C-alpha cells in the first residue's frame, strides 16, 4: 500500500515537473537567460497584456501622497478611484550609499514591504534610481563635471567604489521575497532621461559610447557577478525627435527588455498641452515602432502635468493619444508629501479639480488598474 502511494506520488511529481518545463519552454526569455521563473512569467505577461490594455502606474503610490505620509493601505489614486494602480514605481536613490531611506524620505525597509504588498495583490513594481554623483558626493543632478561616467567605467578611478554602490543596489533587489522565499520581479528603469543633460549620466556629461558601456557594465555586474535574476531592464530616454536620436545611446537589444520614454507637459497653459500631445504621439510612434522591430515591450516610463491645472488632462490630453498604441503602462510621477512642494503632484487627490476626469479615464475599458490584472 505504502509502496503504491510512493509510486503514485513520484509519477505525479514527474508529470508536474514536465508540465512546468513545457510551459516555460513556450515562454519568451528576457535578456537575463537565468531569470527566475517569476521574472520570466512577468516578462511574458507584459507581452500578453499589450492586447488587453494599458496599465496605470503611479510613482511612490503607497508610501505617501499629497499632504500625507505613511498611512497603511492608502494611495491618492485609490482615494479617488477606489483601486490601486496596476504598476507602482519606486525610487532607489541613496540605496547606493547605504542610507536607510531614499532621497524622498521613503525607508527602504518600508519600500520592500510595499513591493511585497503589491506583488501579493498581483501588481507590478518598477524602480528608478537617482544615484548620487560619485565624484562630488552631491546629487544625481550635479552635472558640473563631464567625466563622472568615465571614472566609473573599468580602469576609471571610481570603478571599484562604484561596484560597491552596485552591490548595494543588488542587495536591495535580492531582499525582495514573497512568502515562499521566491524573489519578486522588478522592472529596473536605470540611467533614465539620459538624452537630456540634467543627470551625471546625461548627454552633455558622457559620450554615447561611454553611456552604453555604463549600462552594459551595470547589467553584467548585477546579473553575472551578483546573480540578481529578478530584473527586467527598461530603457527610458527623455522625449526624442526620431528613432536615430532614440537609439543613439541604446546599449543594444541584448541588454534591454522594455523600451520607453519620459515626457511631461512643458508648462501650465493650453499651448503646452498641445505640444505635449505632439511629443507623446511622436515618442509613442518611435517606441512602439522600435519595440515591434526588436521584440521589446513598449511603455511610458514617466509622464504627467505638474499640479494638473488642466481639469480634463487625463481624458482629453493623455487618453486620445495613448489609446492609439499598444503599450504596457503609463506611469504618472509622484505626489510629493513635502510641505515645501505643494504643487509637485501628477495624479489627483480627493477634492482636486481633475479628480472626476481621472475617474473617467481610469474607468475606460483599456485602462487597467490593479483589480483588472486579476481578471
Residues forming the site for ligand BMA (CB under 6 A): 91, 93, 103-104, 130, 334
Which residues, at least 6 apart from 48, have a Cβ–Cβ distance to it below 8 Å? none
Catalytic annotation present for 306: no
Residue nearest to ligand BMA (CB): 91
Which residues, at least 6 apart from 301, have a Cβ–Cβ distance to it below 8 Å? 128, 189, 192, 234, 236, 260, 261, 262, 331
Among residues 325 and 346, whose Cβ is nearest to ligand BMA?
Answer: 346
Q: Are 307 and 343 in contact (CB under 8 A)?
A: yes
Task: Give dist(CA 148, CA 162) in Å, integer.
Answer: 11
Task: Give dist(CA 147, CA 149) in Å, integer.
Answer: 6
Among residues 201 and 255, whose Cβ is nearest to ligand BMA?
Answer: 201
Residue 180 Cβ, how far from ligand BMA at the closest point, in Å?
Answer: 31
Among residues 103 and 174, whose Cβ is nearest to ligand BMA?
Answer: 103
Instruction: Indicate which residue of 302, 306, 338, 360 is catalytic.
Output: 302
For 108, the 3-state DSSP assignment is: helix
Residue 320 Cβ, how far from ligand BMA at the closest point, in Å?
Answer: 25
Residue 197 Cβ, how far from ligand BMA at the closest point, in Å?
Answer: 15
The closest alpha carbon to 261, from 329, 199, 193, 325, belongs to: 193
Q: Are 287 and 332 in contact (CB under 8 A)?
A: no
Among residues 181 and 340, whose Cβ is nearest to ligand BMA?
Answer: 340
Instruction: Indicate which residue of 91, 96, 193, 239 is catalytic.
Output: 193
Task: Give the chain's count of helices (H) and strands (E).
Answer: 11, 13
Catalytic annotation present for 38: no
Residues that are catalytic: 193, 302
Amino acid at each position: 500500500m505504502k509502496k503504491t502511494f510512493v509510486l503514485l506520488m513520484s509519477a505525479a511529481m514527474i508529470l508536474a515537473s514536465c508540465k512546468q518545463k513545457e510551459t516555460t519552454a513556450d515562454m519568451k526569455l528576457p535578456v537575463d537567460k537565468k531569470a527566475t521563473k517569476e521574472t520570466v512569467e512577468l516578462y511574458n505577461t507584459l507581452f500578453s497584456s499589450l492586447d488587453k490594455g494599458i496599465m496605470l502606474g503611479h510613482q511612490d503610490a503607497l508610501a505617501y501622497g499629497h499632504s500625507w505620509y505613511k498611512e497603511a493601505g492608502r494611495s491618492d489614486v485609490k482615494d479617488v478611484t477606489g483601486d490601486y494602480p496596476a504598476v507602482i514605481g519606486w525610487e532607489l536613490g541613496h540605496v547606493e550609499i547605504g542610507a536607510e531611506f531614499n532621497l524622498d524620505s521613503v525607508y527602504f525597509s518600508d519600500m520592500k514591504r510595499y513591493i511585497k504588498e503589491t506583488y501579493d495583490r498581483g501588481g507590478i513594481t518598477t524602480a528608478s534610481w537617482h544615484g548620487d554623483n560619485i565624484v562630488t558626493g552631491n546629487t544625481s543632478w550635479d552635472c558640473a563635471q563631464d567625466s563622472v561616467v568615465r571614472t566609473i567605467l573599468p580602469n576609471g578611478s571610481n570603478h571599484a567604489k562604484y561596484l560597491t554602490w552596485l552591490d548595494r543596489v543588488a542587495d536591495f533587489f535580492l531582499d525582495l521575497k514573497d512568502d515562499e522565499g521566491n524573489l519578486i520581479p522588478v522592472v529596473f528603469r536605470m540611467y533614465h532621461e539620459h538624452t537630456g543633460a540634467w543627470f551625471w549620466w546625461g548627454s552633455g556629461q558622457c559620450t554615447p559610447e561611454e553611456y552604453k558601456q555604463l549600462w552594459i557594465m551595470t547589467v553584467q555586474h548585477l546579473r553575472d557577478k551578483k546573480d540578481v535574476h529578478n530584473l527586467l531592464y527598461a530603457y527610458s530616454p527623455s522625449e526624442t525627435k526620431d528613432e536615430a536620436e532614440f537609439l543613439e545611446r541604446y546599449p543594444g537589444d541584448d541588454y534591454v527588455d522594455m523600451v520607453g520614454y519620459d515626457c511631461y507637459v512643458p508648462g501650465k497653459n493650453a499651448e503646452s498641452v498641445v505640444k505635449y500631445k505632439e511629443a507623446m504621439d511622436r515618442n509613442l510612434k518611435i517606441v512602439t515602432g522600435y519595440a515591434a522591430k526588436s521584440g521589446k515591450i513598449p511603455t511610458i516610463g514617466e509622464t504627467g502635468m505638474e499640479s494638473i491645472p488642466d481639469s480634463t488632462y487625463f481624458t482629453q490630453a493623455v487618453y486620445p493619444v495613448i489609446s492609439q498604441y499598444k503599450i504596457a503602462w503609463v506611469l504618472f510621477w509622484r505626489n510629493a508629501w513635502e510641505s515645501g512642494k505643494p504643487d509637485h503632484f501628477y495624479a489627483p487627490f480627493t477634492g482636486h479639480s481633475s479628480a472626476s476626469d481621472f475617474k473617467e479615464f481610469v474607468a475606460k475599458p483599456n485602462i487597467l488598474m490593479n483589480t483588472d490584472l486579476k481578471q
